Chains A and B, each alone.
Chain A
Amino acid sequence: MLKHLMAASALTLVLAGPALAAKEVTLDLVEPIADYKIFVAEKTGELVADTQAFVDAIKSGDLDKAKTLYAPTRMHYEAIEPIAELFSDLDASMDARADDYEKREADPDFTGFHRIEYGLWDKGSTEGLEPFADKLLADVTELNKRITDLVFPPDTVVGGAAALMEEVAATKISGEEDRYSHTDLWDFKANSDGSQKIFELVRPLIAETDPAFVEKVESNFNDVDVTLAKYESGDGYELYDKLTDQDRTLLAARVNTLAEDLSTLPGKLGLD
């Protein structure tokens, strides 16, 4: 529904505003895209290392440790989702929700982070999770390999800034994603940081021509960061149900504005 609203308001802008001259794409995008791949490669390296520790905790039956490692491990994946999601098979086996399957939690194809999350929190045990843990480790290792070999498509990278905020709007603001562990704020932060990274990398290309836009986006990111910072706890975040209605409303507003504004980035860079 958010997207419909956005589509509607974007259209209003298009119809109301004077037609802007189409911007030509330039090779100035080469450096940001290259730097983004290096960023993603680093995150994927951390994902592999942290998943190994997470899997070790599950296989040694250490429930508390496994629960502690779940959210921080996922953050690396959530931060690079525009790229990770390009691989449909891995995205399904690593990050699908029970809702994506006919038999929901009981479906034999329900695997990955959320299957393990379901076991650790809903069942309160590491029992029976070994095969899912092994599969997750194999998947992140394969993801790492595929990302190394991937020539990053500029549309996916630049479009990723808005896609990540849309992801927040669709699945984090609602608390839908981490429904068993309620660690949604960790994912929220990772999505938002991933989006901010893309914006920062292309910012020099639009800073001079579009200073008001840059300032607005930065201010909204800052509001998100400041609000999320209120929920920092230890090395991570409070559970999702600690989020006050007031802050949820503020975050939803900023996230939607960011998603809408950032969806104009490809056009500003001549990628439409």
Chain B
Amino acid sequence: MSGPDQRETEARLGNLMWIGVAATAALALAGGIAFYYASQLRTTAEGETVRVAVTAAACEPNALTVPAGKHVFEIANRSERPVEWEILDGVMVIEERENIAPGFSQTLSADLAPGTYEITCGLLSNPRGTLTVTPSKTQTARAEAPALKAFIGPLSEYKVFLALQGGKLVASAGALEAAIAAGDREAARTRYQETRRLYKTLEPLARRFADLQSTIDPLADYLGQREEDPGFTGFHRIEYGLWGKNDTNGLTPFAQKLTADLATLKGRLREVKLQPGMMVASADSLTRQIAEARLVKGEDHYAQTDLADAEASLEGIGKIVDLLSPVIVASAPEVATALTAALDKARARLADLKDDAGFPRYAEVDAEGRQRLADAFTGLADALDQLEAATRVG
């Protein structure tokens, strides 16, 4: 496709481009000098400007050491080709400056935590250099409390989790409804457990919506006429039909209502404004409720699947812990460590009860076994109390 005419055009364009370069060089130089002084001024408080040259074969110097904090790097391209310069943490790019023209310099600013990084040096086939960041006073002083900005990523990720999990939940409820309508009890039981699992992973936030909670997850125990009460709807009503009565008969209206309620819940989770403190408090109060009420008495009276519920709830709580721990690890490392340990312990105690066939019916777990599990959840709730204090923004 590339004929001589076109090559000529390309060559002309190329020339024009370099005339452009020459014309802007003076401007760029002026700007560059001003920029240089500006960056000097801006960085004296936190660090010095670090100068690196990229030659045809390597970086000069090829090994850099700087104290933790903010730094300006000035990268001069002393090779014949346009280059990019990157700071890498493993395979992840921390900062980069692309398209540095031959003979030109560009600056890049980076806020670096202590550790060992790699730097790229021109051609991908060139060896990489190293950047060692040592601990500094600035870094230590800054780590008294997390900055609000540090929560944006984790909270966004939780929002994505709520959206994706909410979508799966509504789809699963639709499949449950269809299995019930088809009168397929076994399929309905499978769909029920999957829908229940998804709901439980969302429970830290889902249970904050009291109106929905009262139709999605009420227990017969708290209703005047128990199973016969008109207010007995939602998950446990369907569980009562599928396991208590071994039948799908008459469940369709309840399944339809559940799907509709879960769709409303999905919308609310999409709209909810997240705050770090609110997320932790939600996880904390759910953990304590599981420890002090659910694991003692059991909730799934007909299916006896309380351990599966606890596992799914723990997954939802763990999601919050896993997202927020990295934010506080610098300012409150002992809280992060305690949380990980408490979460691992609760997971391990649940796993102890599981065998190849899955979890036993909850009726088969004796009081001692229940207490042992509940203690692990209490330990996790205590660690979450500390997380609540540690997530207060500095």
Contact = CB atoms under 8 A, between A and B. Distances in A.
Interface of A: 1, 3-5, 7-9, 11-12, 14-15, 25-27, 29-31, 33-34, 37-38, 41, 85-92, 96, 99-103, 107, 109, 121, 151-154, 166-167, 170-171, 174-175, 182, 239, 241, 270-271
A146 to B, nearest CB: 9
A92 B123 CA distance: 11
A30 B34 contact: no
A111 B98 CA distance: 20
A86 B93 CA distance: 5
B38 to A, nearest CB: 6
A241 B10 CA distance: 9
Nearest to A24: B148
Interface in B75-117: 81-82, 86, 88, 91-93, 96, 98-99, 101, 104, 106-107
Contacts of B164: 38
Given A88-B88, A175-B10, A241-B9, A1 B98 contact: no
B124 A167 contact: no
29 contacts: A1-B21, A1-B24, A1-B28, A1-B101, A1-B104, A4-B106, A7-B107, A8-B28, A11-B31, A11-B34, A29-B156, A30-B152, A30-B156, A34-B156, A34-B159, A41-B160, A87-B91, A88-B91, A88-B92, A89-B91, A100-B123, A100-B124, A102-B123, A102-B126, A152-B156, A153-B153, A182-B1, A241-B9, A270-B149
Nearest to B82: A99
Contacts of B91: 87-90
B86 A88 contact: yes
Nearest to A179: B2
Nearest to A124: B1
A92 B31 contact: no
Nearest to B124: A100
Interface residues of B, number: 55
B263 interface: no
A197 to B, nearest CB: 15
Contacts of B86: 88
Contacts of A15: 34
A121 B24 CA distance: 35
A21 B17 CA distance: 39
A37 B163 CA distance: 11
Nearest to B152: A154
Nearest to B275: A27
A27 B81 contact: no
Contact of B125 (A33, A86, A102): A102
B240 interface: no
A151 B274 CA distance: 16
A33 B273 CA distance: 13
A26 to B, nearest CB: 7
Nearest to B97: A3
B58 interface: no
B135 interface: no
A35 to B, nearest CB: 8
Contact of B28 (A5, A86, A182): A5
Contact of A8 (B9, B35, B123, B148): B35
Contact of B6 (A87, A91, A241): A241
Contacts of A166: 98-99
Nearest to B276: A27
Given A88-B91, A101-B125, A170 B99 contact: yes
Contacts of A27: 148, 151-152, 155, 273-275
Interface string B18-53: 001100110110111011001000000000000000
Contacts of B27: 4-5, 8
A37 B159 CA distance: 10
A121 B149 contact: no
B124 A29 contact: no
Contact of A154 (B31, B124, B153): B153
A29 B156 CA distance: 8
B120 interface: yes
Contacts of B81: 99
Given A27-B152, A33-B153, A85 B96 contact: yes
B186 interface: no
Contacts of B88: 88
Contact of B98 (A29, A103, A170): A170
A87 B93 contact: yes
B149 A4 contact: no
Contacts of B98: 166-167, 170
A219 B93 CA distance: 33
A3 B106 contact: yes
Given A8-B31, A29-B152, A151-B157, A88 B125 contact: no
Contacts of B178: none
A144 B210 CA distance: 37
A5 B273 CA distance: 41
Interface string B151-181: 1111111011001100000000000000000
B121 to A, nearest CB: 12
Contact of A5 (B10, B24, B126, B148): B24
A91 B120 CA distance: 13
A5 B148 CA distance: 34
B323 interface: yes
Contacts of B125: 100-103, 107, 109
Given A27-B155, A34-B160, A101 B124 contact: yes
Contacts of B120: 88
